[in-house]
Amino acid sequence: MKGLIPAAGKGTRLKPLTLAIPKELMMIGEKAVIEHVIDAMKIAGINDITVVVGWKKHAILDYLGSGKRIGVNINYVVQDEQNGLAKAIEAGEKIIQDDEFAVILGDDFFYPKDFLNDLLTFHKTEQADATIGVSDVEDVTRHGIIKGKEKIVLDLVEKPTKEQAPSHLGIMGVYLFKPSIFQAIKETKPGYNNEYQLTDSIKNLVNKGKKVCFKKINGEHIDVGTIQDLKKANIRFSQQ
């Protein structure tokens, strides 16, 4: 299995910090948040990783290099236009090819870091076409929200209103896919915020009768999208 880390966003909510530094390079403890993501992939036995870059891409290349320093092999692809997470995933198709792969957003901090290993075991046991890591969330308007029965995803909505939300199970930015997701992305039309949403692509899989599963992620998850969240992640890291 390969890994893919989308890291092409501009991090507008973290300004003015991101005027100089990509949000994926915000430091949590002694490491950039994207390196914590790579640690989780290593624990799950994933050492062949593609990073999708865009905004200030050279800084990420300078930090990660070939991956040798942190014990992995890193390839890079460029998402020229920041037009949605689905298109960021599609940018990695030529490198991923026919392999199954894990996706973790490059600005998400998880503790403990073995969450991906648990999700991968579940994905393989279920022989799923796609598996989504979820958790109960208070603010449904900040997440993709799923409707599920037992472990099967029935529907997905990107950042719904409180009235539209089918549940409080929010997508945590962690996914496992078979390569069939690439065709589903190609069939995806612009959705929320006029972007190509990965939730819509996964919904295409559901509509095609593919097996799409979900599993709750244990532990803590912090989307390092604001200065307050960055402070929160560093406080949590210092308590380990």
d(CA 168, CA 134): 10
Please state the pTM of the whole predicted model: 0.91
Q: What is the dihedral sign for C-alpha 188, 194, 195, 198?
A: negative
63: burial class by Cβ within 10 Å (0-12, 13-18, 19+)? middle
Encode pLDDT of 175-230 as tens digits: 999 999 999 999 999 888 888 999 999 999 999 999 999 999 988 777 777 778 77
CB 59 within 8 A of CB 44: no
From the list 174, 208, 146, the residue with the least C-alpha distance to 89 is 174
Which of left, alpha, beta for 121 (phi over 0: left; psi -120 to 50: alpha)? alpha
- Structure-block tokens of residue 145: 């929200």
Q: Which domains are assigned to the chain?
A: 2-238 (3.90.550.10)
Looking at the predicted structure, is the pLDDT value of residue 12 above 70?
Answer: no
Encode pLDDT of 70-113 as tens digits: 999 999 999 888 888 999 999 999 999 899 999 999 888 888 88
Phi and psi at residue 86, to the nearest 5° = -60, -40
Question: Per-residue confidence at 240, pLDDT binned at 50, 70, 90?
Answer: low
Encode pLDDT of 44-67 as tens digits: 999 999 999 987 778 999 999 999
pLDDT of amino acid 17? 63
